Amino acid sequence: MSANSPETARTLDVVLVKAGRTKIRYAAELLHDDGTRLAVRAPWAGNGVRDFGFVRFEAGDVFTEYYWRDRWYSVKEVRDGSGTLKGWYCDITRPAVLTGTELIVEDLDLDLWRSADGSDVRRLDEDEFEESGLADRDPAAASAARAALAELEARALEGGFEALLR
């Protein structure tokens, strides 16, 4: 199904899992699924405002989220209620799994932010990643997570994610 398909919109539950437990679950509209990459759209699903200091996620924000079945990350384009681009929030995750109407994504703690104008690119939660013990429990996954973060950071610094998200 593509974003321009005449088919009825399909709703999925995005299930973000962290340390074996569901961190958040929310409904999202499936925009596209080509067998490797999925795109969904959902309103801000958090409770209240989440102020990171460099960006605020709040009621009215809309997230267009891209997930891959063969990559260790997701990229979320964030717009405010008027459609103005705030930036991209990227989660380092295991490859996404679609089971029925659930899109299951395991969060591996590392994150990356790129502002709309590209002036602010920052790695997030590296301390949480180190404290998670993933490097000891699953060295291959930890290595894949670090490589995914490096790839996203390079893309962010070289001009953004547009080519990746086409």
What pLDDT tens digit does each residue of the chain (166 aa) get? 444 444 556 999 999 999 889 999 999 999 999 999 999 999 998 888 999 999 999 999 999 999 999 999 999 999 999 999 999 999 999 999 999 999 999 999 999 999 999 999 999 999 999 999 999 999 999 999 999 999 999 999 998 898 899 8
Residue 91, SS3 per DSSP: strand
Domain for residue 3, yes or no?
A: no
What global pTM score does this model have? Answer: 0.92
Full 3-state SS string of 102-163: EEEEEEEEEEEEEECCCCCEEEECHHHHHHCCHHHHCHHHHHHHHHHHHHHHHHHHCCCCHH
Dihedral angle at the C-alpha atoms of 54, 86, 25, 36, nearest 10 degrees?
A: -120
Domain for residue 131, yes or no?
A: yes
Domain for residue 1, yes or no?
A: no
Nearest to 36 by CA among 68, 79, 72: 68
Domain for residue 69, yes or no?
A: yes
First to last CA, the chain: 15
The boundaries of the domain holding residue 85 are 11-164
Strand partners, 13: 27, 102
What CATH number is associated with residue 32?
2.40.380.10
Number of domains in the chain: 1
The pLDDT of residue 159 is 87
